[in-house]
Structure 1
């Protein structure tokens, strides 16, 4: 039953996180695109760029509202479903989340209102500053969230206090400059930029296929293709940095992604295709590309990447070492004060403390890890291996889509430079059908990041199975179903609103109701249109 509770808690948080991340990348990317488009408007004075900004801003607003609605719930889940996790690392994990709310989200939410209602109340430059503030707030929000998540992947700048039985901040600057968090941030926001670029590209291509809003569509595609090409290239390059960080701090994740069961001579090959078999500990029908994994994972030709079998043996050693720290901790707790125990006990705890999390893996099999049998230690060591097949395929789906998006945006970048965006209708159709691909890649990327960390909620420190609240399986199941239903309804509402806005299209200034519409946006319908509008 305990493991059922853990599985249900993971499933609930995973479901809400994946739903929420359907909205996040588009919000991140569109905020920057809006700022770029309005910058062009301010620099050129051409009204068409103002209309372009307002149209894509409407879609941004719909998506932003849904992102807020789905994201707020996740904050509460830490206390509801993961109460021991919140107690254990709240001092560390809570700080970036608090800063995100107080600095980034408030900045973003405040200026979003000014963006929509300030067109006729602010100067051109003033409104442009507002739009860039929205973009910066959105990206700062992602920064602090990913600092928190990066710490879960690589817990630096914090120490365990045996008096309070909690992790406490020892160096906040080290948390901020965590290399894993930095790599995750730039990789994630680049994915958001690519996602928004393909969205703008696809919707604009749909307009061209129907010969609607042609000038607005062409200009939007030009921005999306150039920005999307840079973003897609960045995703791949920065993803390489994430892979390198995994080889430094999460070796088991890297081995599982590659389905590398045995340690290979350097430089290791990359398995382009295959069917991992976790029970047999081999990959069937594997197709290998020599040297590639060694270069990606270590950036060298002579550094060995350890395989799963070797990493399990290392985990077994760390469990044994962790038991010494666990035993010393129990002596410290029984004494009631670290000053009431011998120096040898304190030294044993300090020396073996970094491995104590591995000893906690034994809690799955025995209440007191010190009473674990050698067989239970071996079982716990194998628990450090995540599910290989989901990681293996999620990573390859993500990479394949990333390469395709580079080719797609590069093609439209060339076409836009040659002013031939509407010459090949089949390419426009490809752009339309490609709209879902960045979301699939983003969700696959989070599968790699979060599945690859298991069985840890904090890498090497706290097993996921110990982090959950003391809830009943029935309660979790009911709330899980409730979240799925509510979030599905929200997703359907968002899709309908987005499709309605897209079908309506940008503002048509020649419609019979133009006066009412323009007044709603702060334009004087009697004023002649600017040249080139």
Structure 2
């Protein structure tokens, strides 16, 4: 029980810090691109209203950026404090993209953020525009390397298990970098960030129009947000389909759980639009289905079945038994210099992680009974209810964003942004992109359980051997600290939104002398 408490608390701590951090990440991604677009318009047209817009939205971006950095640093330290065995087992692989991300975030992105704020009157217009684009590029590259690392946890390609060191090691960094899951997650995640930035700009612009303040900047901001947001929202849906396909190839249990699909569906498999999942009865009540849709999403075909949870559990049992063959062979060579596995046993190391699931049931896993092997296989089923409803709420919000941005685009094109019902709807929609983004991460990460690295290392084996009380204490500290940061961020955001574009920017406060362009 003591060990289970450590695992639960460690997972809860990382989940909370990640969810807090991701309150700031998508807005940073979205606003950085929007700032670059608006400053490009300023350089092309020379109209100072676009410069004023960049400075105003840039102030809000800066507040959010600072909070994102403050909440992100602690997450990486948790790999050494709370997840020591995970870091030991896969540190050679996981540490590389994290190190590169640190360089991107703190050297490239951090440097140009400073130039963005304090270089307005010290640089030419074109030079400052280049800096703004570099801020945007740096933000997106920073996200890329984090997603490369996360994608490897979902689909561990380009690596091999070394029986001498008993660790995972990189065999092809090219495969790690160009992991199909990483590509799909990157474009999907940054597009969701663009939607967040566009919704933020749309909602604040609607607030100003409702109040009759800063109307010229508000109308232009809504116009930019509407077109950019519509393109981004459409991209999220289209690129989400690619994520569904990669999961259908590499994480079949996640797809089956999202669908609450206990039996294998013959081709072409239908998609369950809505229903009531029942894990005890192993069925979905009152299911409303769209014919062929799941087959197209998960297999890109009409002639391949989509495997259900029961069949996948049976396959997991087979992989556990195969992994036990490798585990027994490793026990014989462990600690012997120069000893190698028999050639015929090496393929079984691919299923070693499945055998390690038995460690949660008994320490001497080589003596596991059939019932215990079945119990371990059943543990590969994630929480079906959470995934089923989380996915559907996320997708529903995605289609709502498309409709709202399309309406905003239509009204701005026909100069009808004075419709109060629309402005109120836009303002009330402000928190929804964050809800969708958090749901997306819950589906992605919760759906991977019981694995910290899919098929390679169970989550409960990755934790540090520390007292549960220590983790509980740090968890309470993080909740208090992060809640304070969130409150400070909210206060500053509200303050500068109320002040509006007339609020002083950092370079104005410092009274930097002007430079002729």
Smaller-chain TM-score bracket: over 0.9
Question: Which TM-score applies when normalising by structure 2?
Answer: 0.97
Please give the alpha-carbon distance, in whole angstroms, between the structure 2 residues aligned to 1:434 and 1:517. Answer: 33
Deviations 1:282-338 (A, max 9, x none): 122222222211111112111100000000000000000000011111111154432
1:59 equivalent in alignment to 2:60: yes
Residue matched to 2:229: 228
- Match of 2:286, SS state, is strand
Residue in structure 1 matching 2:390, options 394, 398, 402: 394
Residue in structure 1 matching 2:497, options 498, 502, 506: 502
The CA deviation at 1:522 is 5.4
Please give the alpha-carbon distance, in whole angstroms, between the structure 1 residues aligned to 2:508 and 2:14. Answer: 44
1:417 equivalent in alignment to 2:418: no
Q: Tell me, which stretches of 5 or more residues in structure 2 are unaligned? A: none
Deviations 1:338-389 (A, max 9, x none): 25xxxxx422431211111000000011112111010000000000000111
Count residues in correspondence: 514
| Conserved 8 A contact 1:329-1:349 | no
Q: Which runs of 4+ in 1 moved over 4 A?
A: 514-524
Residue matched to 2:371: 375
| Conserved 8 A contact 2:326-2:345 | yes
Please give the alpha-carbon distance, in whole angstroms, between the structure 1 residues aligned to 2:505 and 2:33. Answer: 30
1:350 equivalent in alignment to 2:346: yes
Residue matched to 1:71: 72
Residue matched to 1:321: 322
Q: Tell me, which stretches of 5 or more residues in structure 1 are unaligned? A: 340-344, 509-513, 528-533
RMSD: 1.7
1:364 equivalent in alignment to 2:360: yes
- Match of 1:506, SS state, is helix
The CA deviation at 1:198 is 0.4
Residue matched to 2:208: 207
| Conserved 8 A contact 2:118-2:507 | no
- Match of 2:502, SS state, is coil
1:133 equivalent in alignment to 2:134: yes
Residue in structure 2 matching 1:429, options 399, 424, 439: 424
Query: Map of 1:14-413 to 2, 5 A cutoff?
Result: 14-333=15-334, 335-339=336-340, 345-413=341-409
Deviations 1:25-44 (A, max 9, x none): 00011000000010000000
- Match of 1:76, SS state, is helix
Deviations 1:222-277 (A, max 9, x none): 11000000000000000000000000000000000010011111111111222212
| Conserved 8 A contact 1:229-1:410 | yes
1:487 equivalent in alignment to 2:487: no
Please give the alpha-carbon distance, in whole angstroms, between the structure 2 residues aligned to 1:364 and 1:502. Answer: 51
Residue matched to 1:464: 459
Residue matched to 1:452: 447
The CA deviation at 1:128 is 0.5
| Conserved 8 A contact 1:105-1:141 | no
Classify 1:109/1:317 alpha carbon distance in 2 versus 1 (closer, same or farther; 3 Å): same
Please give the alpha-carbon distance, in whole angstroms, between the structure 2 residues aligned to 1:515 and 1:501. Answer: 10
Please give the alpha-carbon distance, in whole angstroms, between the structure 2 residues aligned to 1:88 and 1:250. Answer: 21
| Conserved 8 A contact 1:246-1:253 | yes
- Match of 1:120, SS state, is coil
- Match of 1:338, SS state, is coil
The CA deviation at 1:477 is 1.2
Classify 1:516/1:352 alpha carbon distance in 2 versus 1 (closer, same or farther; 3 Å): closer
Classify 1:215/1:379 alpha carbon distance in 2 versus 1 (closer, same or farther; 3 Å): same
